[in-house]
């Protein structure tokens, strides 16, 4: 062959396969998962409901001003009507305003607790899965111990003793919810660490922490995202239970469970607006998160199956 000359090839046609036939757009993993997700109407509805609540709770008070600090007994127990679209509660506070404020607490605690749980769980799971051996056994026994802790009782005791604030409730709820993500991440890590790119990284001398940070955890994100969604739903329910029993946020703060427990005493008087709007808000928020979680799980599983 003459030097400096290459054999000329026909220009590469990226729209036809060599054996003939169309080549579609590249389907990368994430895009495929997103397409599957969007196809699920319930999931889209879930995202819509969740966004509605975020806007309602955090931007609503900017538009709708309700006085939730000054007790106003003249308006106490007003049924829904002029001035109070959803009525007034036992202290004269506007129920719609209370819904917004309680929703802020619920969403804040929900997301923060889920964040705490997934952080602890992912670390424990990754370390256990990567290290193996005695470290793995010890960590999994610790997970078993925490799984046997009666969740609601311990959370109530801690909330009663250390007072309830958004921070303390999030830490306590998240601190006892990390076991399931730990197990899930460990399972993923056990699979991933046998893959070629991990072996290659190890051969190149990558230290364990970098391995976890750069390779193992990013590839477990699917499992973690599904779990986080369900964690938020469970945390919001847990806050509702704690608030209902009277150990949630107190004046000047409030949460949804607290509102219901105040309203229970007036059921026989027929003051339905103290209970049902709050309950429906809790159910809708948790349902939306469950829709999203189920759809995420389906779409990510499909992606894994098609690989």
Partner 1 sequence: MSAYLLRRIGTSIVVLIGISIFMYLLLHEVFPSPAKIALGLKATPASIAAFNKQNGYDRPVIAQYLSYMNGLVHGNLGYSYAENQTVAALFQERLARSIYLSGISLLLAILIALPLGIFQAVRRNTVGDNVATSAAFILYSMPSFFLGLILIQVFALSFPILGFEASQSTSIWVVIGDWHDMLLPILTLTLITVANFSRYMRSSSIDVLAQDYIKVARAKGLPERLVLLRHMVRNASLPMVTLVGLFLPALLAGNLITETLFNFEGLGLLFYTSLGKEDYPVLLAYTLVGAVFVVLGNFVADIALTVADPRIRLA
**Residue 169: Cβ-neighbour burial (10 angstroms; 0-12, 13-18, 19+):** buried
Nearer to partner 1, 199 or 280 (CB): 280
Residue 305 sits in the site that holds partner 1 (CB under 8 A): no
Quick check: 277 binds partner 1 (CB under 8 A)? no
- Distance separating alpha carbons of residues 264 and 274, to the nearest angstrom: 8
| Among 104-112, 163-171, 267-275, 297-305, the segment contacting partner 1 (CB under 8 A) | 267-275
Q: How far is the CB of 277 from partner 1 (least distance, A)?
A: 12
The β-bridge partners of 94 are 88
What is the footprint of partner 1 within residues 227-246 (CB under 8 A)? 233, 237, 240-241, 244-246
The answer to whether 135 contacts partner 1 (rule: CB under 8 A) is no
Residues 49 and 65: their CA atoms lie apart, in Å, by 23
**Terminus-to-terminus CA distance in the chain, angstroms?**
42
Q: Binding residue for partner 1 (CB under 8 A) from 47, 123, 154, 225?
A: 154
Within 10 A of 70 (CB to CB), how many other CB atoms are there?
A: 8
User: Which alpha helices (DSSP H) does 41-165 contain, by range?
Assistant: 41-54, 60-63, 95-131, 133-147, 151-162
Q: Per CB under 8 A, does 34 bind partner 1?
A: no
Stretch that binds partner 1, among 98-106, 120-128, 158-166, 221-229 (CB under 8 A): 158-166
- Give yes or no for a contact between 221 and 213, defined as CB atoms under 8 angstroms apart: no
Give the footprint of partner 1 on this chain (CB under 8 A). Answer: 141-142, 144-146, 148-154, 156-158, 160-161, 233, 237, 240-241, 244-247, 257, 260, 264, 267-268, 272, 275, 279, 282-283, 286-287, 290
């Amino acid at each position: 062959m003459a030097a400096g000359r290459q054999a000329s090839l026909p220009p590469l046609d990226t729209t036809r396969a060599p054996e003939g036939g169309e080549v579609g757009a590249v389907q990368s993993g994430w895009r495929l998962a997103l397409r599957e997700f969007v196809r699920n109407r319930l999931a889209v509805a879930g995202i819509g409901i969740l966004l509605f609540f975020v806007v309602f709770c955090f931007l609503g008070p900017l538009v709708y001003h309700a006085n939730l600090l000054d007790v106003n007994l003249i308006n106490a127990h007003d049924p829904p009507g002029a001035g109070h679209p959803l009525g007034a509660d036992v202290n004269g506070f506007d129920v719609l305003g209370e819904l917004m404020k309680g929703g802020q607490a619920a969403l804040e605690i929900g997301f923060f607790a889920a964040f705490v749980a997934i952080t602890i769980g992912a670390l424990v799971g990754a370390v256990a899965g990567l290290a193996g051996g005695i470290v793995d056994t010890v960590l999994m026994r610790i997970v078993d111990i925490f799984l046997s802790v009666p969740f609601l009782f311990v959370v109530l005791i801690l909330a009663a003793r250390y007072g309830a604030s958004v921070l303390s409730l999030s830490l306590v709820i998240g601190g006892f919810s990390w076991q399931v993500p730990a197990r899930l991440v460990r399972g993923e890590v056990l699979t991933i660490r046998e893959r070629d790119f991990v072996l290659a990284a190890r051969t190149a001398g990558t230290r364990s922490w970098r391995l976890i940070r750069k390779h193992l955890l990013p590839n477990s994100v699917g499992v973690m995202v599904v779990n986080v969604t369900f964690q938020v739903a469970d945390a919001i329910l847990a806050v509702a239970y704690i608030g209902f029993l009277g150990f949630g946020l107190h004046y000047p703060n409030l949460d949804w469970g607290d509102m219901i427990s105040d309203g229970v005493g007036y059921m026989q008087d027929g003051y339905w607006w103290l209970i049902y709007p709050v309950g429906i808000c809790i159910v809708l928020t948790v349902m939306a998160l469950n829709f999203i979680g189920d759809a995420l799980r389906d779409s990510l599983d499909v992606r894994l199956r098609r690989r």
